[in-house]
Structures are given as structure tokens and as C-alpha cells.
Structure 1
Amino acid sequence: MKIFGREPAAWAALASIVLQVIGAFVADFDATTQAWANGVVIAVLGLIVAFMVHDGVIAAIAGLVQAVMTLAVGLGLDWSAPKQALVLSLVTAVAQFAVRQTVVAPVSREDLRLAA
């Protein structure tokens, strides 16, 4: 399944990174606000990706890891907003790479017949 020609994991990664950059450089969120906003958005996007790709164990785990890390920042881990954005961007990219490598697209019988 694709959204506007892109895989759900790509949209999830983009939304996550955009929110992190806005929070770090535009809106100037304090560390707690940044952490809670990132945690909620990342967890929801991870679940959406897991649901849409029907093979969502890796996407759900990645979303959970990102949410736990951002909540830890919100609860006292002393990281600046730019540092959070960089770390979460890396986690998102690695998770997307893993999801892309393990998700199998459904193929119709007609497509299989044409491929043969």
C-alpha cells in the first residue's frame, strides 16, 4: 500500500523528522514539550506503519524505541532539542531501512503469472 506514491514508512520518517526540526529550530520547544510531542507523534506513526504494512513488528518496535527515548528526555535526560532531533532522525532512518528490507509487498496472482 502506498500513500501518494510513497511507502507508509517513508511518510512516517518524514513526519517524525519534520516535527523534530520544527521543535528544535522554529518553535523553540522546551525539552519537555519537544519530548512529549515527539513521543506521541512517533508512537502513533509507528503504529500506523505497522498497521499499513501488515508486517509491523519492526515498525512497532522502532516506534516504541523512539517513544521511550523521547519520553526519557521529557522525564529528565538532559539533551538539547538539536541533539534529540539528530538521534531520533538516526533511529528513524535505521528503522525505516529495516522495515524496507523485511516487508514483502503483496503480489496478485495476475502479477505472478505475468512475471513468469
Structure 2
Amino acid sequence: MRTPLFFGREPAAWLSLVAVLVKLAVAFGWNASPEVQAAVNASAAALMGILIALAVHDGLGVAIVGFSQAGLALAIGFGLDWSTERQAVVMAFVTVAVGMWDRTQVTAKIPQKQPLPLA
């Protein structure tokens, strides 16, 4: 299967552009730590994962959970002061919500067995 294209370019080219823009912003005065820069790049990669999952119609739930994790890491990098317990609860909610949505989107390849009639 061919890799989906966005705006006529490969997804890796767009991620490279984001990485260079982050470096350019830092070079011209954005005071971002290496951790924040990494979180921005990770969030961009996670967003690209969602776009690719949408384009190929496969694995969207996993891409959404990954994007949520990257977004949370980015928010913490920018100063969100959440305990690890709060982060875990939020990510558990996202995972369960995505799982519930996935359940409505998937059809089993094998039909469900019919219960035996009671005699």
C-alpha cells in the first residue's frame, strides 16, 4: 500500500518542516527547553499519525490515544502542573472512550454464536 500524501508531499516532509520551524523559532528568541521542543515535535508526529490513520481507514483509535499522550506531554512541557495520578486518570478515560467508540466501528469477521434454546 502506498503512503498517503498530504498537499502533494510525503508525511515525513511535513514533520521535517515542523522540526525546522521549531529550531528556527528557538534561534530567533523562543525560549523553549529541549523537552518542550521534543514535545512539540512528538505532538506533530502524533497528529500526522491521526491524519495517516484517517487516510488509510485503519488504526484511528490507536492514533487518537497516541495523540492524546503527546498532547498531554506537550501541555506538561508548557507548565501544566498535574500529578501523575491525574495524568493516568485522564489517559485512562481517553483510552476507554476511544475503545467504546472503536467498538461501534468494528464488525467481527465471525458471526456471534446464537445461544442454545433452553429445553
For this structure pair, what is the TM-score category when the shorter chain's length is used for normalisation?
0.3 to 0.5
TM-score normalised according to structure 2 size = 0.39
| Structure with greater helix share of residues | 1
Q: TM-score, normalised by structure 1?
A: 0.40
User: Larger relative contact order (C-alpha < 8 A, sep ≥ 6)?
Assistant: 1
